[in-house]
Amino acid sequence: MLTTLASGYGLLEGPRVDTADNLFFSDVTNGGVFRRSPAGEIATVVPRRRGVGGLALHASGGVVISGKNICHVKDGETRILFQRDDIPGFNDLFTDSVGRVYVGSLRSDPFKESARTPGELWRIDGEGKVEQMYGSVGLTNGIGFSPDGKILYHADSAGPHIIMHDVAPDGTMHNRRSIAQLSTGIPDGLCVDEAGCLWVAIYGGHCVARYTPRGELDRKIDVPAKAVTSVCFGGKDQHELYIVTADNTDVPERKGTIFQTRVETPGLPAPLARV
């Protein structure tokens, strides 16, 4: 059963839950990063900023967010971690166990149906310290690690499929392969549970799909929205699955909506950023 937590937004993205059960999320089209308390109160964390497709919580407080650059915003102060003039924007991002940030670059407009310029996956090790991990990502979206950190999963919405790489002890990535090739909808945001299964928001598919580590479809959660954009785990036991969308097909005036449901297998908590 899905519970509606908030609605009336544009294209929602970047859900993350802190240890106090506050849910952070962004509105890509209307702008802003927000925080919803367990009581349902919503506060603005970063006003007006548009294009925030990815978000991480920082160990020292504040949030790391994407857009035209990757920056750490804390108490109204902004510290730019990564920006390049030849990269017009960045989308989803995730953190590894030591707090480094992985983010996908957007080299063409994701909202235009035209020939795309593939982007890359970048790792941010500190302020201005970045390394390109690999390229040839048609349209970058959700990023996540296997429970042991030895595999990185990356949604390529232009595939549409999930690409995966083995992560070597030195941090380099090898053995690229493709799983979960979709015939309906495209993979957007994703998260990983303790069993190593991927929960993927299917944009255009009215659902969130759970795939095994090999890419076999395990189950679906139907969502009353065509544009399901991202997912994350939360709650004290990590059994709560949060789903964000850009529309609501049952009640169109609700527009972008946040849903919550409970699942059997707990999720992996997202590590805090430390860059």
Residues recognised as catalytic: 188
Which residues have a Cβ under 8 Å from the Cβ of 10 and sit 6 or more positions away?
A: 27, 28, 29, 30, 246, 255, 256
Task: Print the SS3 string covering 216-232.
Answer: CEEEEEECCCCEEEEEE
Cβ contacts of 129-138, under 8 Å, gap ≥ 24: 129/275, 130/82, 133/102, 133/165, 133/172, 133/173, 134/165, 134/173, 134/176, 137/104, 137/105, 137/163
Kindly state the DSSP code that residue 253 receives in the 8-state scheme.
G
Helix (H, G, I), strand (E, B) or coil at 50: coil
Q: Is 57 left (phi over 0), alpha (psi -120 to 50) or beta?
A: beta
